[in-house]
């Protein structure tokens, strides 16, 4: 009953319909304060309970995010390892060592970094460039390991390794394998347009294909093959000077010469 009178007095007090005495006002405000404190404690308990529940949810979500991150990293590392191993298989069929693809990977990384590509692209080309010759798995051994110059017919067969490699990965949605497809397809294109298989020229050739072309040729010339001896550094330098703006992107050749000692250091560190 007193509670109803109290509520009535609040309404009248707010509406200005009743003028309370000082004692009534004091009592009224005291009751309001007690009611406020009572409700505040209840609200605090609710908030504390919600906080505990939110912290538990955050902990569970954090654990799930960490597991997802670890799983994603594991998938990426597995992809990289598979790509590298496949590149290794392709090179082993042509009597080349695993160090060839390791060197090409590191040369490509340096060129991409100095050229100013994004970190994502730099890391990707380092991991995708070992697949440049993966299409060699489809070339017969008697051609792949022939110790003398190819006949025109044999050379046409040899050139198919670019499209074979491209076809292996062209349907993939993974950025790593998409880049591997591009590199396999374009690393034998030439700046002036007389390369293969498409006869692309200049910037029609992706930057990834142009970078890997330099990395691959530099390493191939400096390595012994069944059909040739390793070239001297002086002879290799002469070729790149002559082929600047012909076979190779001139800007990339300049970067190559500016950082030549880094390339030589990698070559010496991972020699066959």
Q: What does the alpha-carbon distance between residue 162 and residue 183 come to, in Å, rounded to a whole number?
A: 9
Burial category of 215 from C-beta neighbours within 10 Å (exposed 0-12, middle 13-18, buried 19 and up): buried
Return the active site residues. 136
- In sequence order, the 6+-apart residues with CB closer than 8 A to the CB of 12 are 18
Q: What does the alpha-carbon distance between residue 257 and residue 141 come to, in Å, rounded to a whole number?
A: 35
Half-sphere exposure of residue 99, counting CA atoms within 13 Å on the CB side? 12
What kind and span of H or E run contains 44? helix 22-93
- With beta carbons less than 8 A apart as the criterion, state whether 218 and 236 touch: yes
Whole-angstrom CA distances from 217 to 4, 81, 186, 230 are 95, 24, 13, 12
Q: What does the alpha-carbon distance between residue 15 and residue 71 come to, in Å, rounded to a whole number?
A: 65
Burial category of 154 from C-beta neighbours within 10 Å (exposed 0-12, middle 13-18, buried 19 and up): middle
């Amino acid at each position: 009953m007193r509670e109803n009178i109290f509520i009535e007095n609040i309404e009248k007090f707010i509406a200005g319909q009743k003028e309370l005495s000082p004692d009534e006002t004091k009592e009224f405000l005291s009751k309001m304060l007690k009611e406020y404190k009572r409700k505040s404690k209840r609200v605090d308990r609710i908030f504390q309970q919600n906080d505990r529940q939110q912290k538990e949810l955050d902990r569970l979500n954090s654990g799930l995010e960490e597991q997802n991150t670890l799983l994603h990293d594991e998938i990426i590392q597995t992809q990289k390892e598979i790509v590298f191993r496949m590149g290794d298989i392709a090179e082993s069929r042509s009597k080349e060592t695993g160090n060839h693809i390791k060197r090409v990977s590191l040369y490509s990384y340096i060129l991409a970094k100095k050229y100013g590509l994004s970190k994502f692209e730099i890391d990707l080309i380092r991991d995708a460039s070992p697949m440049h010759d993966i299409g060699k798995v489809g070339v017969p051994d008697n051609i792949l390991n022939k110790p003398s110059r190819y006949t025109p017919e044999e050379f046409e067969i040899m050139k198919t390794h670019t499209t074979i490699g491209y076809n292996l990965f062209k349907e993939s949605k993974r950025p790593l394998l998409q880049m591997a497809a591009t590199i396999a397809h374009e690393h034998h294109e030439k700046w002036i347009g007389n390369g293969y298989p498409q006869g692309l020229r200049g910037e029609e050739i992706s930057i990834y294909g142009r970078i890997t072309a330099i990395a691959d040729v530099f390493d191939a010339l400096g390595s012994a093959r069944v059909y040739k001896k390793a070239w001297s550094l002086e002879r290799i330098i002469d070729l790149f000077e002559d082929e600047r703006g012909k076979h190779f992107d001139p800007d990339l050749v300049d970067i190559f010469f500016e950082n030549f000692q880094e390339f030589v250091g990698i070559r010496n560190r991972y020699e066959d």
